[in-house]
Structure 1
Amino acid sequence: MTTKTTATMTDKFYEAFITVVPDCIRMDFLPAKFKGNINAFLSFENAVYNQANEMCSDYNGGSWEFVEAKDGNAFFIHPNNDDTSYTISNINSYKDYEVDGRIFGMLASWIIFSHASFAFQHKDPSASAMFANHYHALRNAFYSTVDKMVYEDPNVSAEEKKAIEEMSSIVFSYLD
């Protein structure tokens, strides 16, 4: 049985969670995040695009944003389009989810962090450790922002909190 749910990373959440990497530093961004490890930073971007193709049969490329969590530790990339939604399938739960580009890219990045941490384990242990660290940094930054906005920020409306909780639930369910 397939269940389809729409998830959107609202502008308010997005602004609380991340900062867009300016184009003028984009070329240096990944090498800095991977501390110059050429195996890691050359693999990451292409692997995310390939993961996007695996997650969504309708995905057909495009321009992507590089974003960094407000804490400066976590980052991910996502398609640079505000109006496109992606239907992604979780083969483990037999569920489909409709998500916006922000969530789509975050999930693709998150999955690559996880997969690469294992893939590089024997070939390049330092790259493996960096990917594992990026996985955990993104998880911590994402769920910390969810917790702050849902449970601590009195300026977040009930409607916004509900949207954040639904997004968080879909992210958790998809990655589980």
Structure 2
Amino acid sequence: MILDILLIIILVLAIIKGFQRGLVVGLFSFIAVIIGLAAAIKLSAIVAVRLGESTRISTQWLPVISFLLVFIGIVLLIRLGARLIQKTVELTMLGWVNRLGGIILYVAIYLMVFSVILFYADQLHLLQPATIDQSSTYGYIKPLGPKVISAFGSFIPFFKDMFGQLQSFFGNVADNFNGKQ
């Protein structure tokens, strides 16, 4: 029951956000996060060296600061482009299509994130059996988590064997946690 209520809240938030942002900004925001992470991982070392040469920032903080600078910079640039495209879409009177597409996109994204969180919670044995039994939607959402993680591995090589690694990691964490109690 509590999982169903959480799902309803998440879906309502997704619908509101999708309606407000629309498909164009939503899609570009999603892409911006992925490209921003990839760029930050690849370029943060170069930026850290340049920052270290031109500032007095502690070397301890340089990697974090450079990662954040690259990530935020890329995301902001892509979102700026998205806003320009959205203005064009609104001028062509396709605003309602944009908003409907945004609702569908955000519902899909929020469902994927919720399913991955349920996967983690299940692997760590954080969900009580009674909570799972009382849920009408758990059986439908739970299988999405591993599929989402595997799909990310197909599209982004960095995430290739993440599902298997996460499953064994959480299995070890759960075993250690249960052994200490």
Report the TM-score when normalising by structure 2: 0.30
Task: Answer 1 or 2: which has greater strand percent.
Answer: 1
Task: Answer 1 or 2: which has greater helix percent.
Answer: 2
